[in-house]
Structure formats: structure tokens, C-alpha cells
Structure 1
Amino acid sequence: MTRDNVQIGMGHRSLNSRIDVFLSEVGFGMNPGQLRRAKLRQIIALECASDAELAALGIARDDILSFVFRDLLAA
């Protein structure tokens, strides 16, 4: 059985903490655990990309979470 026990730190806050804060700031009234797990691979891939690679996608590093969750946040 696999376990979700990988801890990833980016800067002063862990990636999971940044995702939780992002989701709480946009007003989700639910536990973001399932959403985080569903999007984590894409978030990690983008976090590992260079700034030039992100620019080619048209996003800034600070906009990664907004970009990944854009399908849920579309107005």
C-alpha cells in the first residue's frame, strides 16, 4: 500500500501549506486534501521548472497555484 508521506518544502512554507492557504484564500469551504492530491503532480512539475520554462507557458512562479487550479476557479 502506498502512503502519501512525501514532504516538500519550498522556501519557508511547505508546498502543502501553500496549497492549503491558497485554497482557503479563494474561499473553498471544504477540506482541500483531495484537491491537493489530485493536482500535486502538476504543481511539483511546475515548481521544478525554470523561470524561462514557466515564462514559455505564460505564467510566473507566484501564479503556479492559480494556474493549476484555474479549472476550479473559472468565473
Structure 2
Amino acid sequence: MALTDTTHTTAPISLGKIFAAPFQAIGRFFVAIMESNSRIKRVDALNAMSDEQLAARGLRREDIVRHVFGDYMHL
């Protein structure tokens, strides 16, 4: 004689997760847009440089964002 279990239980879905899901999706969307921005890639590339390399370009680490976004945000 074989025994087959036909019940399937799932974890209950919380109301908080249901309401948070659209906001999480919107947040992921904006992060994806910002990460694909060429200016962000430029900031990342400059941040990866050493302080000596930045000094050779006439930059300080705290001025990277102002340098990259200066014409766009009038910084």
C-alpha cells in the first residue's frame, strides 16, 4: 500500500509585503537608471583612482562629483 501526501502548505503572504512591493520595484528601477548613467560610471572610474593619480589630473577626491556633474547641476 502506498501513501501519498496531497496537502501543500505555503507561507502566508503578509499585507506589508504586498504594499511594499510596488515601492521596491520603483526603487530598483531608479537604481538601474542611475547605474546605467555614463556620469555615474565616470564617478566610479575616478573613485577607483589613487589620490596621486587624481592629483595628476588636478582633482581631489572630494571634488569628483562636482567635476563630473558641474555642468549639469551647476555646482
Structure (1 or 2) with the greater helix fraction: 2
Max radius of gyration: which structure?
A: 2
Q: TM-score range by the shorter chain?
A: 0.3 to 0.5
Structure (1 or 2) with the greater strand fraction: 1
